[in-house]
Structure 1
Amino acid sequence: MVNGADFGGAGAKLPHTVDVAIIGAGPAGLTAGYLLTKRGLSVAIIEKDATYVGGISRTVEHEGYRFDIGGHRFFSKSQQVVDLWNEILPDDFIQRPRMSRIYYEGKFYSYPLRAFEALWNLGIVRSTLCMASFAKAKAFPRKTVRSFEDWTTNQFGQKLYSIFFKTYTEKVWGMPCDEMSADWAAQRIKGLSLWGAVTDGLRRSLGLNKRPNDGMQTKTLLETFRYPRLGPGMMWDAARDKIVATGKGDVLMGHALKQLAEDGQGGWRVSASGPDGSDVMIQASHVISSAPMRELAARIHPLPATTLEASRLRYRDFLTVALKIRSEELFPDNWIYIHDSKVQVGRIQNFRSWSPEMVPDDSVACVGLEYFCFEGDTLWDSTDEELVALATKEMAILGLVSPDKVLGGVVVRQEKAYPVYDDEYATNVAAMRTELEEIHPTLHLVGRNGMHRYNNQDHAMMTAMLTVENIIAGSRVYDTWCVNEDAEYHEAGDEGAQVVIPARQALSEDQIAALSSVRDVPERVAPVVSSKAA
């Protein structure tokens, strides 16, 4: 058994005993806390951020302006998730129009991309060059297709690949397209046929085709989505308040996980460092962790055998530069994707298009420029003043805003925004997961970073919902690792069209394979094995 002095050290407080300790107050952690307290269990949630709950789904406020960190449409195919959203925030959803486009050299293009429209916007000369490049790719395709670049060039030609695929993809993931697996391209770019778009356009111009598909397979896109009127953080603020109001839950802000150790009796002791430098001690029968798997592994005592594997897990970070601009409106989109190599910004959010209440002054537009980076690189380490100046400059380069109309800005940094799927991540996650489930059955991993899975907030919630059922049942009735999504998740489908996945013993092999599929993220190309070595 670990005693208080050994576990917490000097300044540690007496243990706070609860049924479940929860690490992280993001969507997964707060969902778990809310459902557990509803069932009568006591919880203590530790959150290292001193101000905001919600994790990457929080809403940051600055001088009355509110910023969504990444953009969160409240849409889910899970009826259980939709019902929970309505239960937590019954009166504060608004219906918003969905609009996202690609911006390239002063023109907007539909997203998802429509090939005929793209050729039309590019103009006769560039479209001709694109078609020539496409014809060349079809006549002389790359015979060895290993990378994203190989596959996309063969499909669309070098010219269109460089305009609409290369720049943005490399901005987001921080790796060259010729190092990304072709498998990701094949999954990601579905249904777009350049030749189909061209022939369809010609048939329309001759009056032979009255129902164009623009080279795309027919699909019904979301036209509207629900959104909390003050941003996604409104949902998680409400969840926190409801947890505390039960008298069964505490949410400890500004408390970072220091150590996690078994108590020798099947439970856990959690030590968290508080904002005043003292440690808070939590005694719990179960622990739910949405902390990054790499950080959790380094804080379990004794260290897991798989700590080395977990330490190799990598993350992609990003930062938002929010600018206040003297303008009633700049563009109607929720966000636009920037496919232009002249600037570093990858995506620009328009916060008023998410909700008018997020921007308090009708004469001011507020936009968020998103920069994808790695913690510690040049972008990440730039000062706030340098980043505001960069964002102002790039808005001018793009021709969207004159610098003299920028009234000011603020920077929000988001570490570990995207788990990186490199060539060894799956092995490392599997090793950690296997050890934890076999040796520590009362430690549960949930959420995006807790499971190192690139999922959406509703899927993070679902992992927590099933974990709660497992804790109530006293065994792992549900396989939380089966929760994921399809590639078109935020673009098509019916809300509430699916019910909760069945218990693991009821899953067929086909169902397990389907539910375990990962989201569309790039993996590195497989290494070439030399025939001599073989």
Structure 2
Amino acid sequence: MPPDPGRGLTPNYPFPGIRGSVSPGETSVGAHPDQVDVAIIGAGPAGLTAAYLLTKAGKSVTVIEKDPVYVGGISRTVEHQGFRFDIGGHRFFSKSKEVVDLWNEILPDDFIERPRMSRIYYEGKFYSYPLRAFEALFNLGILRSTACMASYARAKLFPKKDAKSFQDWTINQFGSRLFGIFFKTYTEKVWGMPCDEISADWAAQRIKGLSLGKAVLDGFKRSLGLNKKPNDGMETKTLLESFRYPRKGPGMMWDAARDRVVEGGNHVLMAHGLKQLSHDSEGWRMVATGAQGDRVIRAKDVISSAPMRELAGRIHPLPKTLPDALDLKYRDFLTVALMIRSEDLFPDNWIYIHDSKVKVGRIQNFRSWSPEMVPDPELACVGLEYFCFEGDGLWASPDDVLIELAKKEMGILGLCDPATVEGGVVVRQEKAYPIYDDAYAAHVDAMRKELEGAYPTLHLVGRNGMHRYNNQDHAMMTAMLTVRNILAGARVYDCWQVNEDAEYHESGNEGAEASFARPLDEDQKAALDSVRAVPKRLKAA
């Protein structure tokens, strides 16, 4: 059975009282012709990058966006009573010169330089991120550190053979005590699956270079004055010490991109979701549904950043791979933003919460992203992020219940007195993270091959459009290559070769890569061709 036509891609605005650049009463920005060169589904970074570049190239474009207020997708900035909230945190850094140049072109005067700081919080103490093993042992105290070292020694003497799970692999490397403190709780919060069901391959990719034995040995050398190098138990990496950021949040970038599209004579249709997509001898027929009913848009090409699972159920005739696409899974999250009568509670952009006593997984400090995110200098504003699945207990909880939970957990963590909280608001983000289970790759590959074979003028872009765990700049890259293909009238570049390395945002120089695009006849490569480290579920026995 195909999904309900209104599911997933039709308007579902969960933030009453929150306002942005387009009022909820409006359904559109600009006029909306029925005949265009390219129709685009989704006004996130990929969709708006494509719309902006096609507008520059003189093509007619209409973008449909299900949200009635905000563009930018997961990179939007939500505003409430003058406070601005970044959905997930977006550092503006890219190794691609073309992406950096495009950011500067769209938003030339509004970037600020911000210090980079993220730490781990556990039982009232902060730990460096990435984790520094010797510092971690020192902070844990003598008794607990001794227990951790005994656990580590036991794991080295009696390792579990043929470790297949994240849990087994990590315990073999660090012992059960450190695994329980620094790996188990946060990993299970984020991904919603037990560590003994996550593949060991992910652990091997994700936890690179960290050596507890090396950290302890270096610590002894350091105490004797024999080693002056930083003692972090791993090869020293050059981390980003600062990053650029739009002064009013990442949504500022995508508001500007939308405005440029409209100024160029093209169209962004807000509060409109995809109802049906079909192809005939005249090209594409797209039915977009909104408050005023359905609208039919005809186009030569279609670019989709909609989740593959949702797109598959709206193409007619339905693809043979629809059952596979419907099995694709996503992880969602929500942010509870609290306004607290206090000075800033911590200097970090965000902190990771490795504490099983609370449900919160990460806490952002919005003023550390930009002072202009918080309008009142006497108030701190933090965002508590809860990872969940759409429809589960957390997701479905009323906003006032979630705000009370956030206040209570700030008190449990000792980060603030709940009595000093003066307000709060909840922001929900569906389909934030594509899940890489044991079957996802086959499902994505099957759908991709069917759609590319049957519909060469249908182009999939972005994180959810390709079910790839990409960051903002990589989503933009897929759109840039797609635009080149459309302008060339042929599939010259392979957008599926754009991906991200797990350490991409931790090191390197901004704009270091002169070009990310390589034609298919050059080994079918694009820059940054690597696999980002994401957890994979173990196959059922």
Bucket of the pairwise TM-score, normalised by the shorter protein: over 0.9
Residue in 1 that maps onto 2:482: 467
- 2:279 pairs, out of 262, 268, 271, with 262
Unaligned runs of 5+ in 2: 1-30
Q: Which amino acid aligns with 2:504?
A: Y
Q: 1:98 aligns with which of 83, 106, 116?
A: 116
Task: For 2:428, give the aligned amino acid.
Answer: R
Name 1:444's counterpart in structure 2.
Answer: 459
Q: Which residue of 1 aligns with 2:256?
A: 238
Deviation per residue, 1:97-123 (Å, 9 max, x gap): 000000000000000000000000000
User: Is this contact kept in 2: 1:14–1:281, CA < 8 A?
Assistant: no
What residue is the counterpart of 2:334 in the other structure?
319
- The normalised TM-score by structure 1 is 0.94
Q: What SS class does the counterpart of residue 120 from structure 2 fall into?
A: strand
Matched to 2:522, the amino acid is A
Map of 1:22-171 to 2, 5 A cutoff?
22-171=40-189
8 Å CA contact 1:204–1:212 kept in 2: the answer is no
What letter is aligned with 1:520?
Answer: A
CA RMSD in angstroms comes to 1.3
Match of 2:229 in 1: 211
Which residue in 1 is equivalent to 2:430?
415
CA–CA distance in structure 2, aligned partners of residues 136 and 163 of structure 1 = 17
Letter of the 1:290 partner, please give it: S
Alignment match, 1:9: none
Change (3 A) 1:118 1:241: same
Distance in 2, matches of 1:440 and 1:516, equals 25
Contact 1:481/1:516 (8 A) holds in 2: no
SS class of match (1:74): coil
How far apart, in 1, do the equivalents of 2:420 and 2:438 lie? 45
Of the structure 1 ranges 208-217 and 445-454, higher mean CA displacement relative to structure 2 is found in 208-217
Q: CA deviation at 1:264?
A: 2.2
How many residue pairs get matched?
510
Question: Are residues 1:273 and 2:289 paired?
Answer: yes
User: Does the 8 Å contact 1:345/1:369 carry over to 2?
Assistant: yes
Task: Tell me how far apart the structure 2 counterparts of residues 518 and 216 of structure 1 sit (CA, whole Å).
Answer: 22
TM-superposed deviation, 1:263: 2.7
Task: Note the alpha carbon deviations across 1:370-406, whole angstroms, 9 max, x for none.
Answer: 0000001000000000000000000000000111100
Post-superposition CA distance 1:438-468 (Å, at most 9, x none): 1100000000000000000000000000000
2:238 is equivalent to residue 227 of structure 1: no
CA separation of 1:161 and 1:37: change in aligned 2, threshold 3 A: same
Aligned residue for 1:72, secondary structure, equals: coil
**In 1, are the aligned partners of 2:516 and 2:528 still within 8 Å (CA)?**
no
Q: Percent identity?
A: 75
Structure 2 length-normalised TM? 0.93
Check whether the contact 1:201–1:214 (CA below 8 A) recurs between aligned residues. no
Alignment partner, residue 199 of structure 1: 217
Structure 1 stretches (4+) deviating beyond 2 angstroms? 514-518
* Deviation string, structure 1 residues 466-498 (Cα, Å, up to 9, x no partner): 000000000110000000111101111111111
For residues 211 and 161 of structure 1, what CA distance do their matches in structure 2 show? 26
State which of 175, 183, 189 in structure 1 corresponds to 2:201. 183
Larger displacement relative to structure 2 (446-455 or 485-494): 485-494
Distance 2:369 2:114 in 1: 7
Tell me what 2:520 maps to: 504
Matched residue SS, 1:321? strand
Q: Quick check: 1:27–1:461 contact (8 Å CA) kept in 2?
A: yes
Residue of structure 2 equivalent to 1:21: 39
Separation (CA, whole Å) in 2 of partners of 1:212 and 1:281: 62
Given the alignment of the two structures, is residue 300 of structure 1 paired with residue 318 of structure 2, yes or no? no
Q: Is the 8 A contact 2:63 2:269 kept in 1?
A: yes
**How many angstroms apart in 1 are the aligned matches of 2:371 and 2:451?**
45
Note the alpha carbon deviations across 1:295-332, whole angstroms, 9 max, x for none. Answer: 00000011111111101001000000000000121000
Equivalent in 302, 308, 317 of residue 287 of structure 1: 302
On the 8 A contact 1:269/1:282 being kept in 2, the answer is yes
Aligned counterparts of 1:75 and 1:334: Cα–Cα separation in 2? 15
Q: Is residue 531 of structure 2 the alignment partner of residue 518 of structure 1?
A: yes
Structure 1 245/15 Cα, relative in aligned 2: closer, same or farther at 3 Å?
closer
CA distance in 1, matches of 2:345, 2:236: 31
Within 5 A, what are the aligned runs for 1:449-460? 449-460=464-475
Cα deviation for residue 505 of structure 1 reads: 1.0
Say whether 1:362 aligns with 2:377: yes
Per-residue CA deviations over 1:1-57 (Å, capped at 9, x if unaligned) read xxxxxxxxxxxx997100000000000000000000000001000000000000000
Cα drift, residue 504 of structure 1: 1.1
Query: Are 2:32 and 2:62, in contact at CA under 8 Å, matched by a contact in 1?
Result: no
d(CA) in 1 for partners of 2:337 and 2:531?
A: 31
Q: Which amino acid aligns with 1:517?
A: S
| Residue of structure 1 in register with 2:352 after alignment | 337
Deviation at 1:515, TM superposition (A): 5.2
> 1: distance between equivalents of 2:111 and 2:538?
43
Deviation at 1:517, TM superposition (A): 3.3
Q: Give 2:281's aligned amino acid.
A: G
